[in-house]
Amino acid sequence: MTDQRIRIQLVEDEVEFAELLREILVHVSAAQFEVAHARQFSELVAQLRAREPDVILLDLSLPDRQGLEAYHDLQRLAPGMPIVIMTGLDDERLAVEAVRAGAQDYLVKGQFDGRLLSRVIRYALERKQAEEALREREEFFRLILENVTDLIAVIDEHGKRAYNSPSYRNILGDPERLRGTNSFEEIHPEDRERVKAIFRESLATGVGRRTEYRFLLPDGTIRHVESQGSVIREPGGQPARLVVVSRDITERKEAVEVLRSALADVKKSHDDLKAAQLQSVQAERLEAVSTFAAGVAHEVKNPLQTLILSIDYLSNHVVTEDKTAAGLLTEMGRAVQRVDGVIRGLVEFSGHVKREVKPEDLSALMEQSLQAVAFELGARPVRLVTELATGLPPIKVDAKALRHVLISLLMNCLRAMPDGGTLATRTFAQVPGAVIAEIENAFGPATTNSAVPGAEGADKAARAKEIGLGVSVLRKILGRFGATIDWTKPGETGNKYTLVFRS
């Protein structure tokens, strides 16, 4: 207000006194004050409609308004306007009552000069502005507290509640009824002493702490709460009260438990799936053993029968006095009989496998076979290359038996590369009416023992002998479905198997 004129509305029925006030204000500072005069209340109403003043000087003895009625009517007419009461000695008591009702100050006529009047006017304006700012701030914080969901409480040094925000209504009821009650009463008995200890520690050290605890409500409901305390200090610096901001985290706790349970279920499902996959792999391998048992039994049975008949013939028709030769024939007979028993067991074992021939996708069977040897593939430094065609014509095979053939070929290739290499698998269609699968490996540089003369050739010969026997058995199995297998060694650095099926 120092940079502009203060607009004063004077309400006074005595014209001489009004002129005196005007002169006093002009004498103090004609540049600071601008005075408008109304001789009665009705005239004041008309002037307020035309011009809004900064402060009103009101006489309580007007022709059309008397006493506190004049003040209350003016207060309703101009709410928030700073009002200074002017009174005589005989009605000073009314002026005091008006101040109690909200007037900024009062002056007794004849007992003030220009400086006092100027100071009272300025103080009235400043107090009104401070009151308005305080009111706005209180309204601002009231709106915040009424709409915030956090629980805000002020606790005195004895643990009694001095204030609770409206958000407490949803948990503990009417916040006004909580004033002065024990703030630890609703805390769960198992948490109460711990929370009390934190409260005492915060007041003693002046440092608030964060903690979690439970409310045990009268109906038996338990609510989980997270709180942060902040210390309020007295003017001398001593901790006096604690502001506690809390949050109901019950739903969050429940959500965490649900998530933890869901994760446990997912882990169990994952473990079950992993066990099922391992069981499936074991079953595939068992089926493979059964298939190869049948192939081996078929390959060995015919020459074994020749040996049995030959030994029996020599034992019964060749006469010799050489006891050693006779003993050897007897032992040979017993040995081939044991082998014959093993072969019969293999035939009986493989005979339990039920074959089911139907149209199948060769690429899918190759993919499944690669999954079955995934562990062995990961245990070696082998690079896998796959080129599996989609939309191939179906081939009529027993899926289990063909998977066993593919698994056997893949395992043969992997065993031939203990020090690494490349494993390539391809499927494609060839006109007319042929669907082809290729499995090829390339040995790594350290696969053979080149430091020993002749070792490389011996390694390759050993591999050729081991794998060649497998191929002869596999060829019998594939022959049941009208398929063929071709084994080559491109460049003497690996093996290539080509399986041809009729679509």
Within-domain flag for 438: yes
What is the distance between the terminal CA atoms of the chain, rounded to a whole angstrom? 102
Measured CA to CA, the distance from residue 404 to residue 298 in angstroms comes to: 17
485 within a domain of the structure (yes/no): yes
> What is the span of the domain harbouring residue 187?
149-248
pLDDT for residue 30: 57
Query: What is the full DSSP assignment across 425-453?
Result: EEEEEETTTEEEEEEEEEE-TTSS-TTST
SS3 (DSSP) at 35: strand
Distance separating alpha carbons of residues 89 and 92, to the nearest angstrom: 5
Identify whether residues 408 and 476 lie together within a single domain: yes
Could you say which of 123, 145, 167 is where a domain stops? Answer: 145
Residue 140 has a pLDDT of: 67
Determine the length of the chain: 503
Residue 488 Cα to chain centre, angstroms: 55
CATH of the domain at 466: 3.30.565.10
Q: Does one domain contain both 452 and 337?
A: no
Mark whether 482 and 463 lie in a shared domain: yes
Q: What's residue 346's pLDDT?
A: 62
**pLDDT on residue 451:** 37
| 1 lies in some domain | no
Domain total of the chain: 4
In a domain, 433, yes or no: yes
Helices (H), 148-249: 169-172, 175-178, 189-205
Q: Domain check: are 140 and 163 in the same one?
A: no
Q: Are residues 11 and 126 in the same domain?
A: yes
> What is the reported pLDDT for 4?
74
Cα atoms found within 13 Å of the Cα of residue 424, Cβ hemisphere only: 13
Q: Are residues 137 and 10 in the same domain?
A: yes
**Low-confidence residues of the chain: pLDDT under 70:** 1-3, 29-31, 89-90, 140, 142-148, 280-295, 297-298, 318-320, 340-342, 344-355, 444-470, 491-492
pLDDT of residue 111: 82
The SS3 assignment for 417 reads coil
